[in-house]
């Protein structure tokens, strides 16, 4: 195991010796990261295909291009993001300088997840660099090809001391978390999120926890069902359902369920052929452990209305829809994170809202309805990290919207400028001079005290 204390110390020296802080250096590091993505796109696509059998389109759209756009945006905006703010000041400070200085935290740790192993590792890094920090980068060992490639490429393009990459699993992460960081940004499961937060408590290190959970989807009879089915099945099938904001389960009436299932069956055939196993567009489950877990959930919950075929050797599970699912079934007890979509019957929207509010707060809540009152009802009566009406997943790409969870689905948020803000300490500053008029304004504060001074 590498000497983590040494690695973090070097990153701290790099930070303290101003190797990351100036606008010029921040832009230089961002450009280098852009260069890394441009010059190694094919290898990155191969690594993503090796880890998840990701198609070229999903690798380019959701990982490589997504990151490139974020870098270009940061390059164009970082100068204005960094600008010191001058808030309104009270009369007593009229002679003073009152400002908010944007301080980088220092040495930050970014721990990525395996499902979008490139994007979810480097997206926080972009904001951390823009904010002027040193960054210890820890990709997920569960996507080994991408993790290895990140570890090979980053030192070729970025300052090795300021931006070290650490590989490893539970044991390495446990040791790494014993170090003192100035900020920790973690993407992954809620259970490990709790471990990360407990470790951060040792030094009262602030954390962002981008976690998971079951994101519900409610659909009623006012929708354009052809479009709705496309948007829902797309959100569930990209990356074979291994997306933190994939719709986890559907809540609807029995009548809606029947129409949805029929249309979804046809759509899956159109998109992925009669046998989605042969479609180049459909990903694989990341590991045997997750495959076995998913199979267990699928075979012990509700009944299979669409799909259900699987192949352990190929880590393949076809797009599957389960009906007659009971709230007590195993599949309703944990986040699915796979291409299985259970439908739970509810009587109406109020029933659905109760169902949602009786469970832990989801990362995202989806509502499919053309009725604006219904949309507003869900928006006001439920709590979730994000909320999306009549589409799935797409809200993630709106960079001006902060992305994050609430309750057990996480704390903190990022994307676009919000990532810069996450990795920036807003330092309140009051700067006075020795002007005699300014001094007279505040002379009442000095002893000897008197009632006259109190009334001034
Ligand atoms: P995980 O939390 O199981 O693993 C993440 C990392 O934690 C691994 O790399 C592992 O080395 C480390 N780890 C595991 N056990 C540990 C321990 N006991 N001590 C210290 N470190 C430990 O999560 P995962 O399987 O990689 O991710 C799946 C989850 O992540 C899902 O719940 C999903 O919803 C969530 N997720 C959330 C987002 C988001 O943006 N909110 C994005 C992707 C995934």
Q: Tell me: the pLDDT tens digits for 190-233?
A: 999 999 999 999 999 999 999 999 999 999 999 999 999 999 99
- pLDDT value, residue 152: 98
Ligand 1 centroid, distance to 446 Cα (angstroms): 56
Ligand 1 centroid, distance to 142 Cα (angstroms): 9
Decide: 184 and 128 in contact? Cβ < 8 Å: no
Please check the confidence at residue 239 and state whether its pLDDT lies above 80.
yes
Q: List, in sequence order, the alpha helices (H) in 309-400.
A: 349-357, 372-381
What ligand 1 atom has the least distance to the C-alpha of 404?
A: 41
Backbone angles phi, psi at 411, to 5 degrees: -145, 145
Please check the confidence at residue 1 and state whether its pLDDT lies above 80.
no
- pLDDT value, residue 183: 98
Q: Which of 175, 192, 216 should be mutated for ligand 1, with most atoms under 8 A from CB?
A: 192
Ligand 1 centroid, distance to 210 Cα (angstroms): 9
Please check the confidence at residue 10 and state whether its pLDDT lies above 90.
yes
Q: List, in sequence order, the alpha helices (H) in 300-407.
A: 349-357, 372-381
| Ligand 1, atom 24, residue with closest C-alpha | 188
The whole-angstrom separation of Cα 44 and Cα 60 is: 9
Ligand 1 pocket (Cβ < 6 Å) reads: 113-115, 120, 140-142, 169-170, 173-174, 187-189, 192, 195, 210-212, 244, 335, 337, 363, 405, 410
Backbone angles phi, psi at 363, to 5 degrees: -65, -45
* 277 pLDDT tier (thresholds 50, 70, 90): very high
Catalytic residue positions, numbered: 210, 244
* 444 pLDDT tier (thresholds 50, 70, 90): confident
CA atoms within 13 A on the CB side of 67: 27
Q: Tell me: the pLDDT tens digits for 131-145?
A: 999 999 999 999 999
Full-model pTM: 0.96
Please check the confidence at residue 456 and state whether its pLDDT lies above 90.
no
Please check the confidence at residue 117 and state whether its pLDDT lies above 90.
yes
| Ligand 1, atom 42, residue with closest C-alpha | 244
What ligand 1 atom has the least distance to the C-alpha of 363?
A: 41
Q: Which of 1, 62, 110, 113 should be mutated for ligand 1, with most atoms under 8 A from CB?
A: 113
Q: Which of 186, 188, 335, 410 should be mutated for ligand 1, with most atoms under 8 A from CB?
A: 188
Decide: 406 and 384 in contact? Cβ < 8 Å: yes
Ligand 1 centroid, distance to 349 Cα (angstroms): 33
Decide: 36 and 126 in contact? Cβ < 8 Å: no
Ligand 1 centroid, distance to 196 Cα (angstroms): 10
The whole-angstrom separation of Cα 23 and Cα 28 is: 8
Ligand 1 centroid, distance to 241 Cα (angstroms): 16
What ligand 1 atom has the least distance to the C-alpha of 142?
A: 9
Ligand 1 centroid, distance to 189 Cα (angstroms): 4
- Please tell me whether the peptide bond between 450 and the residue prior to it is cis, using omega within 30 degrees of 0: no
Q: Tell me: the pLDDT tens digits for 393-431?
A: 999 999 999 999 999 999 999 999 999 999 999 999 999
- pLDDT value, residue 276: 96
Residue for token pair 């989807």: 217
- Residue 414: strand pairing partners: 403
| Ligand 1, atom 16, residue with closest C-alpha | 170
- pLDDT value, residue 392: 98
The helix (H) or strand (E) run that includes residue 174 is helix 170-176
What ligand 1 atom has the least distance to the C-alpha of 138?
A: 9
């Amino acid at each position: 195991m590498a000497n983590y204390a040494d690695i973090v110390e070097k990153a701290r020296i790099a930070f303290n010796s101003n190797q990351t802080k100036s606008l010029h250096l921040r832009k230089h590091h961002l450009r280098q990261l852009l260069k890394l993505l441009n010059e190694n796109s094919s290898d990155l696509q191969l690594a993503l295909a090796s880890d998840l059998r990701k198609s070229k389109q999903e690798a380019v759209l959701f990982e490589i291009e997504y990151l490139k756009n974020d870098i270009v945006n940061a390059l164009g905006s970082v100068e204005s993001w960094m600008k010191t703010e001058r808030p309104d000041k009270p009369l007593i400070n009229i002679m003073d300088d009152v400002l908010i200085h944007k301080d980088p935290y220092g040495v930050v740790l970014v721990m990525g997840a395996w499902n979008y192993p490139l994007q979810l590792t480097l997206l926080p890094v972009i904001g951390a660099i823009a904010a002027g920090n040193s960054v210890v980068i820890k990709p997920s060992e569960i996507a080994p090809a991408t993790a290895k490639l990140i570890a090979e490429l980053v030192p070729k393009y970025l300052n090795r001391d300021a931006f070290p990459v650490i590989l490893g699993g539970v044991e390495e992460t446990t040791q790494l978390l014993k170090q003192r960081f100035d900020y920790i940004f973690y993407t992954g499961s809620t259970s490990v999120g709790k471990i990360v937060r407990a470790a951060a408590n040792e030094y009262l290190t602030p954390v962002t926890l981008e976690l998971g959970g079951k994101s519900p989807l409610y659909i009623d009879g006012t929708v354009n069902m052809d479009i709705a089915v496309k948007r829902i099945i797309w959100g569930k099938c990209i990356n074979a359902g291994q997306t933190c904001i994939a719709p986890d389960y559907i809540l609807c009436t029995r009548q809606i369920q029947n129409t949805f299932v029929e249309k979804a069956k046809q759509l899956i055939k159109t998109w992925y052929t009669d046998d989605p196993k042969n479609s180049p567009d459909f990903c694989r489950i990341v590991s045997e452990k997750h495959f076995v877990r998913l199979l267990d959930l699928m075979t012990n919950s509700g009944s299979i209305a669409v799909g259900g075929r699987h192949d352990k050797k190929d880590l393949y599970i076809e797009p599957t829809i389960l009906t007659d699912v009971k709230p007590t079934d195993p599949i309703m007890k944990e986040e699915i994170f796979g291409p299985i979509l259970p439908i739970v019957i509810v009587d109406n929207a109020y029933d659905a809202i109760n169902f949602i509010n009786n469970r832990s707060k989801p990362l995202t809540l989806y509502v499919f309805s053309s009725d604006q009152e219904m949309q507003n009802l869900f928006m006001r009566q439920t709590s979730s990290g994000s909320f999306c009406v009549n589409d799935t997943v797409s809200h993630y790409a709106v960079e001006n919207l902060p992305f994050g969870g609430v309750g057990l689905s996480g704390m903190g948020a990022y994307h676009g400028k919000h990532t810069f803000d996450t990795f920036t300490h807003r330092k309140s500053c009051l700067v006075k001079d020795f002007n005699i008029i300014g001094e007279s304004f505040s002379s009442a504060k000095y002893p000897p005290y008197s009632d006259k001074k109190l009334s001034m």
